[in-house]
Structure 1
Amino acid sequence: MGAQPTVSDVAIAAGVSRQTVSNVLNSPGVVRPETRKRVEDAITDLGYRPHASARRLRTQKSSTIGIRLDPITTDGISGSILDRFLHALTEQADRKNLRMLLFTASGPEDEIAQFRRLSDGADVDAFVLTSTFHGDPRTEWLIDHGQSFVTFGRPWGIDDMADPQHLWVDVDGCHGLREATTHLLGTGARRIGFLGWPAGSGTGDDRRRGWLEAMREGSGLDDATLATLEVSAEDGVNFGADAMRRLEKAPGTIDALVCTSDSLALGALMATGGRIPVIGYDNTPVAASIGFSSVEQPLDEVAAGVLELLTGAHGGKVDRNASIADPRHRLVAPRLVVRDGPSVLASGR
């Protein structure tokens, strides 16, 4: 038996776009009669049969959401945040009678190929994207092809607050690192270092901004001095340890440290032997077991926000002409989990 015809096959045969085929199937009244007839003839000739799950997500009938299963990270720490998000999303989706379909991809272009395959086969109604970044081609493809989707992460690089191109939910990393830095300032620390990711990551830049704002307001240090208190590294325990050693070679001492991830924080703790307070980000099980403070992302709230945008008034799509008062994004605040710090930690020197 040959492969079943897809929406793309119908579009090619009728000489129209995939979106037009979708409109004929779901909202035929918006398509001109002559165009609708061409599409209907192509459907008949090809024997195309829409899958039941191709109905709009807002109908709440046989709805399926696709999401990429991220690859396992080398240190097994940072990736746990997305694992926990996926668990929360799946659990809440099940309560709404929604199904999750997991797929893998080696990179953005491969993920787009999966979008095409899953949408052509009508296997999913909408997508959830994670790990957004500047110039993300995945969101552009989904918008161009009229797909319903929500991202966990802002559309970095555009005016995402006032004029969003798509629906998103994110955690306010700036707020989280600002709270962490303010907490350390409240303990009497002044020369608080920052260990972050290389500039341009979006998420990392946002977290750095929280540290910088708090330091400018509460440390009494000028910008030239603050520049000597920060260092960047790729995410990972070993990278964090190496970066901390570089930071300690700079003029002056470090009273405390805030980091953009628990992986970097653990590396810094190993390099210093726990001599100074270190605050990480994500509040992973590693932070809890070792006993260092960390910023916790409220993943249950993130999952709830994603599902609200997919199943609520927006139905997973931005319609600029619609008079929908419901916000197109959700920005949730993290919370700082304060711990006493590791009692014993061997130095990584």
Structure 2
Amino acid sequence: MRRGQGRQPTVYDVAEAAGVSRQTVSNVLNAPDIVKTATRERVEAAILSLGYRPHASARRLRTRKSSTIGIRLDPVTNGISGAVLDRFLHALTERADARGLRILLFTARDPDDEIRQFERLLDGADVDGFVLTSTTYDDPRTEWLIANEAPFVTFGRPWGVADMDDAQHRWVDVDGRHGLAESTRTLLELGGDRIAYLGWPSPSGTGDERRRGWREAMEGHQDRLVLAGAGASRLEAADLDALQVSSEDGVGNGSDAVRALLASGIGLDGVVCASDSLALGALMVLGSSVPIVGYDNTPVAAAVGLPSVEQPLEQVAAAALELLLGPDPAPALIGDVAGPGDPHHRLLRPAVVWR
């Protein structure tokens, strides 16, 4: 989404005029020594011809003109899983306050409406940058922010984008793949073989990563059975497929999915889930007959004694601000970094809370 008639030229316009990529234009502006002379001169000519100037918001972030960071307040669609973003907002607000910054919350109906809010807030110099949550495949919000050179960081990776290491898209995320793999391996070590995965329909960047962690742990277990001479107990790929069930998020949906799984005749030794909502749904059907692990360690999970993967939200908030603003003089408490590290991205490891 671009500005209409009379808008200022952007890096995309310069890239198109010079016949290069957006990243090359960024390199010419920020690290010209790494660009070939002929290419650099072509980009510089396009900049001059178009009258391109870096967006004012980038300068405002360095000078902290408004000392305010904007973040969308997502609508509450699920009282269980929604608690995670509430905790993140609280941690982000506390961390920002410690750095002399304010958090401005705004609402939006959908991504297009959120982009309109971006433009309004930037034009009014109300914010210096943005923190985005709930990233999706081909997210139009990040495309607009990059095109208009508005500083931002996302809580969530740029799903579906090839240039995951693009310096212009700073992101922090939690390694759900690791969390589900750890949960699955622990249930397998308890003596079970048929550990099911209850997650969201694909494509879902977050959900697909969590499912991948379960699958890798299950396949690794099957390989170890063969090495130990217990090949007869090995589950084939089709068996693993049958242990994987998808459902939209929600307690009722989770219960329905587990009932359908049981009705198919599949025996279960445990269930790992993509959310606490789904895990609670599974618990309502299975009770204490098999171990169940949720994701997000919400207050509901704690109240009913449900094991769950906990995201390090304090560390996420600290990392998001560091990526957006630079290092904090105080310790950032970044925690267990799985990778990639400095300078533009963080992938933090969660921990399973066993009950």
Alignment of 1:14-53 (within 5 A): 16-17=8-9
**Alignment root-mean-square deviation, CA:** 2.6
Q: Distance in 2 between matches of 1:280 and 1:208?
A: 13
**1:337 to 2:337 alignment:** no
Shift of 1:218: 1.1
State the TM-score, normalized to the length of structure 2. 0.77
Q: 1:71 aligns with which of 75, 79, 87?
A: 75
**1:87 to 2:103 alignment:** no
Which is worse superposed, 240-249 or 270-279? 270-279
**1:263 to 2:267 alignment:** no
**1:107 to 2:123 alignment:** no
Shift of 1:275: 1.7
Q: Distance in 1 between matches of 2:160 and 2:50?
A: 41
Q: Distance in 2 between matches of 1:181 and 1:245?
A: 21
Matched with 2:140 is: 137
Matched with 1:44 is: none
Q: Counterpart of 2:100 in 1: which secondary structure?
A: coil
Shift of 1:273: 2.5
| Counterpart contact for 2:196–2:268, Cα < 8 Å | yes
Q: 1:250 aligns with which of 264, 268, 271?
A: 264
Which is worse superposed, 170-179 or 216-225? 216-225
Shift of 1:249: 1.7
Shift of 1:251: 3.3
Shift of 1:271: 1.4
Q: 2:310 aligns with which of 292, 296, 299?
A: 296
The alpha-carbon distance between structure 1 residues 249 and 146, as it changes in their structure 2 partners (threshold 3 A), is: same
Matched with 2:190 is: 187
Shift of 1:121: 1.0
| Counterpart contact for 1:55–1:63, Cα < 8 Å | no
Aligned amino acid, residue 349 of structure 2: A
Aligned amino acid, residue 244 of structure 1: V
Shift of 1:199: 0.7
Query: Deviation per CA, 1:104-159, whole angstroms, max 9, x where unpaired?
Result: 01111111111111111111110110000101111001011111000000000123
Shift of 1:18: 7.5
Shift of 1:57: 1.6
Shift of 1:242: 0.3
Unaligned runs of at least 5 residues, structure 2: 12-28, 30-43, 223-233, 328-340
Matched with 2:238 is: 224
Q: Counterpart of 2:204 in 1: which secondary structure?
A: coil
Which is worse superposed, 60-69 or 207-216? 60-69
Q: Counterpart of 2:71 in 1: which secondary structure?
A: strand
Q: Distance in 1 between matches of 2:8 and 2:263?
A: 63
Q: Counterpart of 1:231 in 2: which secondary structure?
A: strand
Shift of 1:63: 1.5
Aligned amino acid, residue 63 of structure 1: S
Aligned amino acid, residue 191 of structure 1: R
**1:174 to 2:177 alignment:** yes
How many residue pairs get matched? Answer: 294
Q: 2:60 aligns with which of 56, 62, 65?
A: 56
Q: Distance in 1 between matches of 2:135 and 2:99?
A: 26
Query: Deviation per CA, 1:263-322, whole angstroms, max 9, x where unpaired?
Result: 000001001223211000000000000001000000001001100011117xxxxxxxxx
Which is worse superposed, 179-188 or 154-163? 154-163
Q: Distance in 2 between matches of 1:122 and 1:93?
A: 18
Q: Counterpart of 1:56 in 2: which secondary structure?
A: helix
Aligned amino acid, residue 152 of structure 1: F
Query: Deviation per CA, 1:141-191, whole angstroms, max 9, x where unpaired?
Result: 101111100000000012354446510000000000000001101111110
| Counterpart contact for 1:174–1:208, Cα < 8 Å | yes
Matched with 1:309 is: 323
Q: Counterpart of 1:244 in 2: which secondary structure?
A: helix
The alpha-carbon distance between structure 1 residues 228 and 326, as it changes in their structure 2 partners (threshold 3 A), is: closer
The alpha-carbon distance between structure 1 residues 227 and 288, as it changes in their structure 2 partners (threshold 3 A), is: same
